[in-house]
Amino acid sequence: MVELKRHLGLFHTTMYGVGLILGAGIYALIGDAAGEAGNSVWISFVLAAVSAIFTGLSYAELSSMYPKAAAEYSFVKNAFGNNFVAFLVGWLTLFVAVISAAAIALGFGGYLTQLFQIPIVLAAILIITILTFVNYFGIKESSSMNIIFTIIEAVGLGIVIWVGLSITGIEIDYFDAPHGFSGIFSAFTLVFFAYIGFENIANIAEEIKNPRKVLPRAIILAISITAIVYMLVSISAVRVLDWQELGISVAPLADVIKKSLGQEWGFGILIIALFATTNTVLIMLVSGSRILYGISLDKALPGIFSAIHQKRKTPWIAVILIGALSASFVFIGDIGTVANISVFAIIMVFVLVNFALIWLRYKQPDMERQFRSPVNVKKFPVLAALGIITPILGIIQFEPFVVMMGLGVVASGALFYYIYNKVRDDSK
């Protein structure tokens, strides 16, 4: 059997992780987050980073035990030996990609309205449709191209940081929270969306040299580097625009640059933001279609979704379905609401992964672990428990509609699993 080549060291794995995390989320959501947390929005980014690290450490330990691709599925399957729970993790991961594409497409629409008088929802539908066709015709994924995309996105954020921190003669109260801790925590759940991606580092475990040592370090470094960038961007943004202006802006970082450097520079950031959001939507659509293809190939979903186009060599039915599903979430209209539904789904995945670690500490206590999540009470991993508690506390802040939609995604997965398996068993 042919195996994947192990060629990635700590630097490349870390940069790959930074590229996964450092996407369009902050371009799209910094305005809504500032509207909730005020000048204290940087605290929300710190809280989200800490929560991500709790779960990241669980991924790191589990990856040192099971350094295989299809990470979440592998972790849960080995912990609980339950096909339903493993399927549910795959189902939720699929919908994270679908809903994230919708949220970032709305962010794209917000920036595009600065160039053309077009409704945001219509712009979002158009970009999803165009990129679904791109996905259908096939794309060549390249780690070099991923690095180029990351650099362009980082340059835009670097300009914002430079502009904000170079301003002198002003005093900002960075602990000013107009809505109190409730606002900070509400923004925390929103900006958690901007950290989604670190969990996918574990999916390339089979291509990493010495994954048991490199992978844990890369996960922690990637989250930490991204957190520092996000903190600096949020501090810089409120130095240029007050939080009220950021809160109502549909193109927040472009408006920051316009105010400080003028229309021409603002146009430059606008183009970078459009590029960043387009790239992220494409990544999510590709990821979602490949997840659907993989689950179908594993016979957990109907085989039609693993059909490969004879000429294009792409999973064309999966591609079309993912594009249609993503477009349907766009009609919710509000980027914050759509992003929070995606966060709800990924939180459910993280809860199951953290439970898997806790369970395996007792089920497989003697299994080799070249990395162990720190802070333990005997066998019990305290940080894994915090990785369950902190995001669930965030769910409490969600609007009832978000919770209802999130639970609907979970329930639809459970219902589909039951019906599909019953039909399949009856046909045998």
Kindly report, residue by residue over 143-170, the tens digit of the pLDDT: 455 567 778 888 889 999 999 998 877 8
Phi, psi of 332 (to 5 degrees): -60, -35
What angle, rounded to 10 degrees, do the helices at 382-396 and 41-65 form? 140
What mean pLDDT is predicted for residues 101-107? 93
User: What is the sign, positive or negative, of the torsion defined by CA atoms of 313, 316, 318, 319?
Assistant: positive
60-74, 130-144, 214-228, 314-328: segment of lowest average pLDDT: 130-144
| pLDDT at residue 13, as a whole number | 85
pLDDT band at 1 (very low <50, low <70, confident <90, very high): very low
Residue-wise pLDDT tens digits, 371-421 = 888 889 999 999 999 999 998 888 888 889 999 999 999 999 999 888 888
Q: Residue 125: beta bridge partners?
A: none
Cα separation of 56 and 63, whole Å?
A: 10
| pLDDT at residue 380, as a whole number | 96
| pLDDT at residue 225, as a whole number | 93
CB atoms within 10 A of CB 113: 16
Cα separation of 192 and 36, whole Å?
A: 14
Cα separation of 378 and 372, whole Å?
A: 12
| pLDDT at residue 27, as a whole number | 84
**More reliable by pLDDT, 294 or 187:** 187
DSSP state of 194: G
Q: Is the pLDDT of residue 104 over 50?
A: yes
**More reliable by pLDDT, 128 or 265:** 128
User: What is the sign, positive or negative, of the torsion defined by CA atoms of 398, 400, 404, 405?
Assistant: negative
The tokens describing 210, both together, are 């010495």
Residue-wise pLDDT tens digits, 340-377 = 999 999 999 999 999 999 999 999 988 888 788 888 99
Q: Which residues have CB under 8 Å from 95's CB, separation 6+?
A: 342, 345, 409
What mean pLDDT is predicted for residues 305-315? 72
Cα separation of 99 and 235, whole Å?
A: 28
What mean pLDDT is predicted for residues 174-181? 91
pLDDT band at 277 (very low <50, low <70, confident <90, very high): confident
Give the 3-state secondary structure of residue 376. Answer: strand
Residue-wise pLDDT tens digits, 224-266 = 999 999 999 999 999 999 999 999 988 888 889 988 888 888 8
Amino acid in position 398: F
pLDDT band at 197 (very low <50, low <70, confident <90, very high): confident
| pLDDT at residue 5, as a whole number | 58
The tokens describing 38, both together, are 């005020």
The tokens describing 427, both together, are 């046909």
% of the chain surpassing 70 pLDDT: 93
| pLDDT at residue 283, as a whole number | 80
**What is the distance in angstroms between the CA of the first residue and the CA of the last residue of the chain?**
31
Under a CB-based contact definition with an 8 Å cutoff, are residues 199 and 72 in contact?
yes
Range picked from 17-26, 145-154, 291-300, 388-397 for highest mean pLDDT: 388-397
What mean pLDDT is predicted for residues 106-119? 90
The tokens describing 273, both together, are 């933001």
pLDDT band at 331 (very low <50, low <70, confident <90, very high): very high
Cα separation of 400 and 242, whole Å?
A: 29
Rg (CA), the chain: 21
Q: Is the pLDDT of residue 41 over 50?
A: yes
Cα separation of 224 and 188, whole Å?
A: 16
pLDDT band at 142 (very low <50, low <70, confident <90, very high): very low
The tokens describing 172, both together, are 């900002």
Q: What mean pLDDT value characterizes the chain? A: 86
Range picked from 55-59, 285-289, 316-320 for highest mean pLDDT: 55-59
Cα separation of 141 and 254, whole Å?
A: 29
% of the chain surpassing 90 pLDDT: 40
Cα separation of 287 and 299, whole Å?
A: 19
All domains of the chain, ordered by start, with CATH? Answer: 10-422 (1.20.1740.10)
Q: Is the pLDDT of residue 29 over 50?
A: yes
